[in-house]
Amino acid sequence: MDSSRLFRTSGTAIATAAMLISGCALGSASPRATAAARAYDTGDGRSSGFPGFESFGAGSAEGAEGPESPPAARHDNARTLAPLPAALPPALRRYYAQKLTWHSCGTSGTSGFECATLMAPLDYDHPREADDLKLAVSRKKATGAGHAKRLGSLMVNPGGPGGSAVGYLQHYAGIGYPAAVRAHYDMVAMDPRGVAGSEPVTCLSDTEMDRYTEVDQTPDNATETAELVDAYTKFADGCAARAGKLLGHVSTIEAARDMDVLRAALDDDKLTYVGASYGTFLGATYAGLFPSRVGRLVLDGALDPSLGSEQINRDQTAGFQTAFASFAEDCTRRKDCPLGPSADRAGDRLAEFFAKTDATPLATGKSRKLTESLATTGVISAMYDEAAWGLLRNALKAAFAGDGAPLLKLSDAYYERDRHGSYQNLMYANAAVNCLDLPPAFRSPSEVREAVPAFRKASPVFGTALAWAALTCGYWSVPATGAPHRIPAAGAAPILVVGTTRDPATPYGWARSLASQLSSGRLLTYEGDGHTAYTRGSTCIDKAINTYLLTSTPPPAGQRCSS
């Protein structure tokens, strides 16, 4: 996948930004976002963005049209992901036979969590003990008393690629998932290879990363184009130098195989799993490789694995335009909307602001200024969850008055830059996984220029920037090992695919497409805004998913929820 594809679970990054900006909880935010704000009251962010806006894709016209658009039919020429042989190769037996050694762990304000280390081969085709990877695992045992029958382990992944599943478990899922689910399941998470606690990929120093995020994402001349290409090249070279041979072994297929090793180490016959955003691609890949080991899989904010990088990026570009239109309609109904009283003109006003910031970056009260790229990232970050729209209104109001600090804080949260100027490894892992999973969308500036009109058609506001962001993997040092593919997972138990009609990051059409590819796919639709649906405040969605997790009964075919 192109490294301009970032899928993230909503709530955590924006809730963190809320804490940074206001110093208090989100107030009227969704239950999930508010819980995440409390959990992430550390000053850290969760994110990635410009340059190489790390998106797994983009919502195309088909994806953004919502429930009336036909299921995506763009996977006709894609290959099919075939299951792995049922017989376990002798060289892998020692991994599947390992026993986890658990110890108490967790962060301030959390309790009841245990951690362990899972060993996995760097290369599944040529496992060597000297190359083994140490993968971070955490769990919180089922909370139910004797009357609550333990149903096994429930593995969770918040997306990214590059989001820490262990962090998500300890800060949210292990304490914030519905009580009935936590009563019956041991809640489990593993940081995928290359991510956070599992042999993290690094690429740049913090100072270098600051410069990288500030580079002009909409080059106007040959000099600015050369500067952007140089930034992408230095980023790629830094990853190659610091990550070494791990850089060629952080694919989604390898991460899915690690999940099966963990399943065995947990002594579970089948995998029960909730994956959000990119986590849906990880879960669907597991189902494709191990269909007979599928238990209850929830894929929320689904990706379409049959699409190529350029289509994916263009799709998500339209998805963010759809989300911005919803924000603009809400904003312009308010007297204090900085975009004016007309929703039709809101995009023009934002584009004018971006252009002015491109020419003259805004002061922030610190040495760093708000460049156009940072401003764009800040705006896009708030598209993931409508609970952040109030933050964005206030940040834009300040920016229009000459103060770029609030919008910079939104951008920093999205990049996972903390208040001390340190970056987590999300951006690096995101690029490493994406660039390995699919060939790049573009390989040269000339290819980007040819594609800009189509991207601008998808989004007049964000199209140019997102088209150039899709060039990131064009300079990657490790050739892609993956390609677009369909995932039928023939023989798997029913798999629940969840799509939100106005999801900015994983457009609804992708959920429809994935559900149609999976032989046992069942589509559940949330009619609303924001990225992903589970635990976002919809009683209908939560009830359907909880029932499926607790009884294996999926919702009726075609079920739709609006509240």
Which residues are marked as active site?
277, 503, 531
Q: Is 93 exposed, middle or buried (0-12, 13-18, 19+ CB in 10 A)?
A: exposed
DSSP 314-371: HHHHHHHHHHHHHHHHHHHTSTT-TT-S-HHHHHHHHHHHHHHHHHSPBP-SSSS-B-
Sign of CA dihedral 37, 195, 312, 295: negative
Q: What letter would DSSP give residue 423?
A: B
Contact predicate 239/431, CB 8 Å? yes
H helical segments located in 371-425? 372-381, 389-400, 405-415
Region of 24 (left: φ > 0; alpha: ψ -120 to 50; beta: rest) is beta
Nearest one of 195, 118, 157 to 433, comparing CA atoms: 195
Nearest one of 179, 186, 112 to 150, comparing CA atoms: 186
Q: What letter would DSSP give residue 170?
A: I
CA distances (Å), 298 to each of 34, 225, 272, 302, 481, in order? 23, 42, 8, 10, 26
Which residue(s) pair with 7 in the sheet?
A: 160
Supply 59's token pair. 């919502």
